[in-house]
Structure 1
């Protein structure tokens, strides 16, 4: 399956929180997108790995992604090992994305920064012809994405560029709130966490609004890049 965008997340809901608006926008423009979650989020204070799976499925439907997979790696203990790298290489070669959206390069949760490096290294390794991978009984062809963009998560990382999501913020929030066990719910009797507060829920809007204010649009999501970006022309830039 050839896809335009492959979005990795260390945990189910990382992608929705970090770049859900961007994915909704790109899909509305006819692009195809696949989400691959590295872990089941089984160490989360609220919910279970089963509820996270059900919520991830619902969020994927809301965004309209072509597929969603979970690699079942160990939550809380992600490492940039050969074993884990090869699991990601298989996904990159399976979906052959032009662009990979990856975890934040620096963040509160240690899995996020670890995942960012793991995802980046796997993108490079997926293009090496002497690394052979087999999926479902077939030898995979090599593939290296053209670009890797890291979305922003908990920390206020300065973006290298932003994506205008003014018409897609509502869908981003709807997809995030599909994770009912994880976010603001005044009726919940489960323990409070940093992401279950009303303030965190409201931050989905005001952080996007602030990036929009700085860039001249209503709402935006920020990304960092691993290499200097070159423009062919000025078309598409919002001035």
Structure 2
């Protein structure tokens, strides 16, 4: 039985976009969910350093608010450079992930899909796969990869692995909390018809739900499961 869940995300807002409804549902079912961000999320953007620092603080405050809405147990922030994880040795990122797994001892890990357009997403995926090697006594039994609107679906077919979900979670009862948590990141949202808009995220949830016969769902790709 799953008791502890760790969300390994590159940037604040990825956790809500990818599995916010699932987080809320699992929290309601009594599971402990911890969220960890590996990259700072903003410091690659143009602007004065003081403005970047102000934006960093604002985004971390938004993450705390979003995760509070979802019922997350704890939130941690890494300081790897935004959109530059390809400049960091994979070993360093993997060691950061290993430390988080050692700390939280999760049964279930959610992370990014391998084929996302965003390089940070891909590197976090690689580090997670490496850190979760199936060794005797390792706490992680299941690894699920989520989609992030405006990254996963923007990859060209044939350029990287396609997101072909084979695991769905019914979030009909928690979709409104997902959208409320996403609204905490309003500075990161775009207007419709951008996929990273409230309306776009809601449409995706209903479409994923329709494909499996429920009102709303989040879709994942199973990496590995040890029963």
TM bucket (normalised to shorter chain) is 0.7 to 0.9
TM-score, normalised to structure 2's length? 0.82
2:172 to 163, 166, 170: 166
Deviation per residue, 1:127-160 (Å, 9 max, x gap): 57xxxxxxxxxxxxx7430011001113342201
1:7 CA displacement:
0.4
User: Which stretch of structure 1 is more off in the superposition, 110-119 or 94-103?
Assistant: 110-119
Q: Aligned partners of 1:83 and 1:110: how far apart in 2? A: 16
Residue 57 of structure 1 pairs with residue 64 of structure 2: yes
* 8 Å contact from structure 1 (residues 3, 96) kept in 2: no
1:230 CA displacement:
8.2
1:44 CA displacement:
5.2
Residue 123 of structure 1 pairs with residue 132 of structure 2: yes
2:145 is aligned to 150
Q: Aligned partners of 1:224 and 1:124: how far apart in 2? A: 17
Q: Aligned partners of 1:119 and 1:230: how far apart in 2? A: 16
2:96 to 87, 102, 105: 87
The CA RMSD measured in Å over matched residues stands at: 2.2
Q: Aligned partners of 2:65 and 2:181: how far apart in 1? A: 8
Q: Aligned partners of 2:40 and 2:64: how far apart in 1? A: 12
SS at match of 1:36: strand
* 8 Å contact from structure 2 (residues 206, 216) kept in 1: yes
Residue 197 of structure 1 pairs with residue 204 of structure 2: no
* 8 Å contact from structure 2 (residues 141, 226) kept in 1: no
1:35 CA displacement:
0.1
* 8 Å contact from structure 1 (residues 3, 95) kept in 2: no
2:122 is aligned to 113
Deviation per residue, 1:34-89 (Å, 9 max, x gap): 00000120235797211111111111111111100012112111145212211110
Question: How many residues get paired?
Answer: 203
Q: Which runs of 5+ in 1 are unaligned?
A: 129-141, 184-195, 232-239
User: Which stretch of structure 1 is more off in the superposition, 24-33 or 71-80?
Assistant: 71-80
Residue 216 of structure 1 pairs with residue 210 of structure 2: no
1:8 is aligned to 8
SS at match of 1:215: coil
TM-score, normalised to structure 1's length? 0.78
